[in-house]
Structure 1
């Protein structure tokens, strides 16, 4: 199902958008479940300390952080092999991951040891990388224009928010069915999600394709490992990608910190329960779904960076409102909590969409620098940095909770433990949002600059060496971070790509 070189792009139909978007039930849905519930599951139902739980999370994410760029690099060149030519250099990995996806359910089997949870979590993280890294390249494979790529990102995030809603409400429904203290709640939840993951991965494989490219000769003279890491590190020499990563990390790590602390905050700081926390998370994700729809329109009509800043401020104000409830001594059942949850949901929805919308254009910026397309390498590096920093953030939350006196399986916590929890959720979230806002002020990729970029790529592809205009020259140099006379492979990045 490749798009033959030299022909018009295949038309992207509704079912292709849906198949692509639905796969983020795995991409975002699994992360929503894990970030919201894994620390609660390990500490409340398995008897692990917060530090042990955070260690499992950190070890798995760090191992996966090294696996992800390797998978991305391999998928960029997998069409050199018969399997890649037969099943697709990206789509082969989607197909191969399907029988491994039930590993998600095994993570949530109650009554096991620390080592069982460590191994089962590592297994799922590696399976996740095997499927999601190639998946993240497919929008750029199937589309080349700004609007279609933005629609792919929009549909993807709509499905992501839908799966996050399910991640929020499903534990509540299962608690009501299985009983408040049943550890099987999470195992049943894991099994349901594993089934969804397998179905959506198969759907994606059936209704996606890759652009066909000329045969790529196998490089010689450099060891595969050295070539791998040299290629991956060179992606960071693309200015737009570095700024994109800063915005991505600011928006997503702020959510990691919030997610890791929020359920504990509701239960212990606001005198709530697991059911109340589940309902609040589900409602927040519903608000995020509406925010994504607004963000899609803003990103298409205005600047993604401007929309990002508005969303970050909204999220930060929501956290202020939630901490204000604790300061005022109000419980989680207070009606005032919906103000905070509404602001948080509005901000998070846009922050989820915007980085993935801009990510789809990174391979275009790279192409004008290197003369090649390396979607897999960018997906791998992005996930590597994301997973490593996410592991550090969540592990830090767990370690700070231990340091603050958090007691596993305890019905109540000390004032010091609660204060530590509140400070971690507040200061950690605000700090990362501030970082993302600062980076966004330098990010200038939008619909207009992307049109200029694509026109200059065609200009250089035709054999020209001079820019079409001084304005076009300024645009592509700002996005690429290289002088115009160094573009199209005439630079060290092009030599290493």
Structure 2
């Protein structure tokens, strides 16, 4: 249980920063700095291109790192905790709002790349790969993954519930019109971001001191690595292709929903407090679901359970579009139920990537946790970038005007469609990827685990 609690805090630390970025960084740049959404969206895409190199490079660094007194992976949590927290805080500096646009663009790129492409990569990849070193038993790994997901969902709740309350204020004008604005002319952002960074450092410290690496993962040699070989590894591994494509669609849909929801509840429903309720309900569902995840996965298998759960989510969000709901509380109820399928995916997918790593080891007789996890992490970042950046492009396409108090009815309807049709379609694509591309059924996973146990027993 000590390992599980520690692993939970690791992803809680990751996600309080990451979710704040996904839900409010676009809002900060457009509503406080007055930047065009397309400029911000372009930055997100450029960062993901850079991540293609930094993620895989960090994964390889982790793989060639020898065992130390605190293990192979934990040292990176100790080294990178403070830098990633500081980099996160630096992005939200409201005093730059009146600076020339050129200076703001340069500052955006420098701080965002420092946070996402360097510091976050430096801590997240070894953290994720560390699960394989804590235990090699599939059921115990799923327990770790479940607690990791709980940490992520609690972090998402903290930001999703308190974020809108802290960032927005709802004002009723003398003529009765409702106006939603950002508190303190945007100066609330660095205050909130600073608090989040402090929380993240504490969480990383708890993760470091509460977890223990028991499995000795040997360091790979430094010879023979190239970025091209890593790309070839992806396209020669069907399991990797399936999980990358499925995850890309899921994360894209999830982050798009998170980004659009800030606009949906503030402008379409004019009830930003309802977003806090929505995130609170999602947390309740997530924590309740944690009780049965291991049992369901044990009975059905990861691939099969993911397909059922995410397929349900896709159907619900597509139905929401046709219902054209005007009442925010009705929308919160139905969307929360639908999102339970996405929540289930979060509990299971980190165990599935370990299955892919096992499958690769069976075929190649080499254990490459860091490299394979880095490739998978990059696919998630691509999904996050698409979800975050395309919010900006999509808002521009539907005619959203930054800094305007009232949006047109056409824009409001466009926001509603972005929050329902697009994620619903992407969730259905996830099902297709896992059912028809990803080959690791329950039986195949158990077979691979037995092969690896026999090999290790022989050594």
Q: TM-score, normalised by structure 1?
A: 0.80
Cross-structure match for 1:403? 397
Aligned-pair CA distance for 1:171: 2.1
Cross-structure match for 1:342? 336
Aligned-pair CA distance for 1:103: 1.8
Cross-structure match for 1:212? 216
Deviations 1:52-97 (A, max 9, x none): 2222333333323421111011100121xxxx64554322222210
Larger radius of gyration: 1
Cross-structure match for 2:309? 311
The partner residue of 1:359 within 353, 359, 382 is 353
Cross-structure match for 1:110? 94
Deviations 1:216-270 (A, max 9, x none): 5543xx5x5x3x4414531442222222223322322211221121221222222
Work out the CA distance in 2 between the residues paired with 1:294 and 1:213: 31
Contact 1:154 1:293 in 2 (8 A): no
For the structure 1 residues 274 and 53, does the alpha-carbon distance in structure 2 shift closer, same or farther, using more than 3 Å as the test? Answer: farther
| Mapping 1:90-105, distance limit 5 Å | 90-100=73-83, 101-105=85-89
Cross-structure match for 1:122? 113
Cross-structure match for 1:233? 232
User: Could you list the runs of 5+ residues in structure 2 that have no partner in the other structure?
Assistant: 97-103, 171-180
For the structure 1 residues 134 and 452, does the alpha-carbon distance in structure 2 shift closer, same or farther, using more than 3 Å as the test? Answer: same
Work out the CA distance in 1 between the residues paired with 2:220 and 2:4: 29
Aligned-pair CA distance for 1:349: 1.0
- Which has the bigger relative contact order, CA under 8 A and spacing at least 6? 2
Aligned-pair CA distance for 1:139: 0.8
Deviations 1:257-316 (A, max 9, x none): 21121221222222x243333333333333333334433331122222232123223322
Q: TM-score, normalised by structure 2?
A: 0.87
Work out the CA distance in 2 between the residues paired with 1:213 and 1:383: 20
Cross-structure match for 2:190? 187
| Mapping 1:374-389, distance limit 5 Å | 374-389=368-383
Work out the CA distance in 1 between the residues paired with 2:268 and 2:164: 20
For the structure 1 residues 216 and 307, does the alpha-carbon distance in structure 2 shift closer, same or farther, using more than 3 Å as the test? Answer: closer
Deviations 1:341-367 (A, max 9, x none): 322331221121221121122221111
Work out the CA distance in 1 between the residues paired with 2:253 and 2:183: 30
* Regions of 4+ moved over 3 Å: 84-89, 175-180, 213-218, 273-276, 291-296, 320-325, 442-449, 457-463
| Mapping 1:57-456, distance limit 5 Å | 57-79=44-66, 85=68, 87-100=70-83, 101-112=85-96, 113-125=104-116, 126-175=118-167, 181-182=183-184, 183-206=186-209, 207-209=211-213, 211-213=215-217, 216-219=220-223, 222=224, 226=226, 228-231=227-230, 233-270=232-269, 272-320=270-318, 322-324=320-322, 327-328=324-325, 330-332=326-328, 335-442=329-436, 443-445=438-440, 447-456=442-451
Deviations 1:357-406 (A, max 9, x none): 21122221111111111100111101122212432343223112112211
Work out the CA distance in 2 between the residues paired with 1:323 and 1:294: 30
Contact 2:63 2:369 in 1 (8 A): yes
Aligned-pair CA distance for 1:444: 5.0
Deviations 1:104-140 (A, max 9, x none): 1222221322332332221111211100001111111
Aligned-pair CA distance for 1:23: 0.3
